[in-house]
């Protein structure tokens, strides 16, 4: 995963403060079943999750792992814990519209991405130092 690519997503996501929801155009009080509203995420959110999928950045054991980190401060997450958190958001969104919207609006989504960016930058520096140490 590239820290530069992630940084470009973060830059765009920083501008998102609120997620809009669809509205039923024919919304009237009736006994008929109507379509429920759902969040309309900006393209950058879908783009980010597609990028994470391409990087195989998901955690198949996210449920177990999320239990272990429930009380942990997001700023202290490891790369694997960020992976668990982001996987959890994506999976929960599938069964409950608005989970990602809530994380975005609360600032937790951005905080997780910033933490991931810090980790990736640190990994890059360590990799470069190791490369120079071998010379």
Closest CA to 111 of 122, 120, 101, 103: 103
- Helices 62-69, 79-95: axis angle to 10 degrees equals 110
Q: What is the pLDDT of residues 6-45, one digit of tens each?
A: 999 999 999 999 999 987 655 555 555 556 889 999 999 9
Q: What is the pLDDT of residues 54-87, one digit of tens each?
A: 999 999 999 999 999 999 999 999 999 999 999 9
Q: What is the pTM of this model?
A: 0.87
- 114/120 Cα distance (integer angstroms): 10
Which residues share a beta bridge with 40?
A: 20
The alpha carbons of the chain give a radius of gyration, in whole angstroms, of 18
- 104/12 Cα distance (integer angstroms): 12
């Amino acid at each position: 995963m590239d820290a530069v690519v992630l940084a470009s997503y973060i830059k765009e996501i920083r501008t998102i403060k609120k997620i809009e929801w669809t509205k039923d155009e024919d919304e009237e009080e009736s006994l008929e079943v109507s379509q429920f509203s759902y969040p309309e995420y900006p393209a950058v959110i879908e783009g980010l999750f597609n990028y994470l999928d391409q990087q195989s950045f998901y955690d198949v054991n996210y449920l177990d792992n999320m239990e272990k980190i429930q009380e942990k401060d997001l700023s202290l997450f490891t790369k694997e814990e960020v992976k668990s958190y982001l996987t959890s958001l994506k999976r929960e969104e599938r069964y409950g519209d608005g989970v990602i919207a809530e994380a975005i609006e609360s600032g937790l989504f951005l905080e997780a991405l910033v933490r991931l960016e810090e980790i990736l930058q640190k990994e890059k520096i360590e990799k470069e130092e190791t490369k120079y140490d071998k010379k």
